[in-house]
Amino acid sequence: MSVHFYRYDPQRTDAAPVSMDGNVCIRCWQPDADGFPPAGSRRLSNLFWWLLSWTGAFARSGFTEISIDQDGRRVHRLIVTPAWLRFPFMSARDLQIGDVWTAPEARRQQLARAAIAQAHRLFADEGACFWYVTDASNAASAALAKSCGYQLVATGRRTRPMRASLLGRYVIEQFV
């Protein structure tokens, strides 16, 4: 699978500001600080992330799920992941924005941009470089990254040893 690697320089200030409707609530869950996933975040994937955090599989602390509820219903979610085996291109201080999901009826409300801005604010003092990796064919995801101030820096692929996604890595093949 062909992928594009976008990077955000925390020193940049040219990303457009985000404004949201007043009926939304942004929530952050961090296993290192908050422990086991709370009721609204108890999915199999979050149990996996909690276990990785608990076992020290990440290069640093900072795994975070950022979710947005609108009128009491979850309408957006993304995760911020520190470097680990899946992202060999990242330095130990870097973070990656991924697993971005927005409910179909809540799209085009800038929720993803708001969640990414929240991630930038959470880790602003740490000077971490942010990465955003997307399938090369995903134009909407690429547009989101660019609107948040990310720049395309490389192309590459996702490996799937023994056809297992869980064992795969994102590998840079060429810098642009």
**Cα separation, 19 vs 109, whole angstroms:** 9
Q: Using the CB atoms, write b or e for 113-135: b if 16+ within 10 Å.
A: bbbbbbbbebbeeeebebbbbbe
SS3 138: coil
pLDDT at site 25: 94
Q: What pLDDT, in 10s, does the model give residues 82-104?
A: 999 999 999 999 999 999 999 99
When pLDDT is cut at 50, 70 and 90, the band that residue 127 belongs to is: confident
Domain limits, the chain: 2-175
CATH architecture, range 2-175 = 3-Layer(aba) Sandwich (3.40)
How much is the pLDDT for 13? 56
Q: What pLDDT digit, counting tens, does each position of 128-161 carry?
A: 899 999 999 999 999 999 999 999 999 999 998 7
> Is 175 within 8 Å of 154 (Cβ atoms)?
yes
The helix (H) or strand (E) run that includes residue 26 is: strand 24-29
- Confidence (pTM): 0.91
